[in-house]
Each structure stands twice: as C-alpha cells, then as structure tokens.
Amino acid sequence: MTYRIGYLVGSLSSTSVNRTVARALVGLAPPELELVEIGIRDLPLYSPDYDDDYPPQGRAIKEAVEASDGILFVSPEYNRSIPGALKNAIDWASRPWGTNSFARKPTGIVGASIGAIGTAVMQSSMRSVLSFLNAPQLNAPEVYLTFHPEHYADDGAGGITVTHEDTATFLRHYMSEYTAFVERVLSVTAPGHIGDPS
C-alpha cells in the first residue's frame, strides 16, 4: 500500500537548507511513501474575516492536507520558534473552527539549522500546536540536524542525494520509523477501520 504524505517546508528562502533536506527525504523514503510538497508561499495572512468565504489559496491548502494520509513538517527555527509563514499555513488549514484539516493525520517534524541547536526549540513549539490540533506525532526518533552543505548533492534529476553515509542512514531510519507510525495511526483512525471515532 502507498501512503500520500504531504510535506510543508517552513522557509520561503530560495536557498533554504530545509528545502534541501526535504528533497533528500523524498529519495530516502521507503517505497510505501509518496511525498508531495504542499506549497505555502502564496497564502495571505490568515484572518477570521475569511472564514465565511475562503480564498482559493486557503481552500487549496486545506484540500491538499485533507488529501494526504500524513503530514511532514521540514522547517527552520526563527527566533526560537515556528517561522511565521509555516504558522500562517497551519492556521489556514486548521480553520474555520470545526473544520481542522490536520485532525488525526500522522505527523512528523524534521528541522535543519547551520547552528548546533538544530531547531529543537521550534520543534517543541510545533508539538504543542499539533497536540491542540489532534494530529498524532512521531515522538522518536527526533531529527535535529546541523546542516553541512557538503553532505548533500544535486542528483541531476531534480532530487538531492545525501553523500554523508551517517546522515543518510539516520534520515533513512527516520523515514522508515515514520512509515511504520503512519501505518499504526491509520490502522485505528482511518475511515472504515476499527477504532475510527467518526
């Protein structure tokens, strides 16, 4: 069985190291996962004023999240917290009240930084948000990467190869654990399964 996993990159930078890591994860994922980016660049700032009539960008992100079996967040840490663009995207997809698109979606968080802290504080903040949104989280293993550009190379086909074997092994293991987590969560929450609370 193949699971469609939507991933959100928390940086809008054209040289984002987290986008590099996200592209690497696509190649390191087991064949059971199909990773598809959910874009956040074109979203206006969320306001409840939109709740009665969502703009096309707001409807698009909700539809993309709802079409995904699971969600990965690959994000930097800004000022010891969640980047504004990513938090804005989460707000759009979780509203209007009562139509939270993240509910019961198995989630994972990956973060890379040029610093040694590796996005640990951002990820702690994200876990609080995802708990409120009733989005089950893979709690271990955790991925706090110190980004070394020489460990990643363009594969010539639009993807990224991780050339540092220890990093590749670690990320491959994470994706394997995330796959198992998706299977476990969906076995009890997917519509039609035993344990489905809907």
Looking at the domain assignment, is residue 152 inside a domain?
yes
Would you say residue 144 lies in a domain? yes
Residue 75: CATH number of its domain: 3.40.50.360
The verdict on residue 193 lying in a domain is no
Report the pLDDT averaged over residues 3-29: 97
The predicted-structure confidence for 66-112, as pLDDT tens digits, reads as follows 999 999 999 999 999 999 999 999 999 999 999 999 999 999 999 99
| Residue 168 is assigned to a structural domain of this protein | yes
pLDDT tens sequence across 114-139:
988 889 999 999 999 999 999 999 99
Cα–Cα dist 62/92, whole Å? 7
Residue 191 within any structural domain of the chain = no
Q: Is residue 52 part of a domain?
A: yes
Please give the tally of structural domains in the chain.
1
Residue 115: the pLDDT is: 87
Q: Indicate whether 191 pLDDT > 70.
A: no
In a domain, 194, yes or no: no
Residue 170 is predicted with a pLDDT of 98
> Residue 195 has what pLDDT?
39
For 102, the 3-state DSSP assignment is coil
Determine the structural domain holding residue 24 and report its residue range: 3-186
Cβ–Cβ under 8 Å, residues 157 and 168: no
With respect to residue 197, please indicate whether it lies within any of the assigned structural domains. no
Give the dihedral sign, CA 167/169/170/176. Answer: positive
CA 54 to chain centre: 23
pTM comes to: 0.94
Rounded to 5°, angle at Cα 139 from 124 and 95: 60
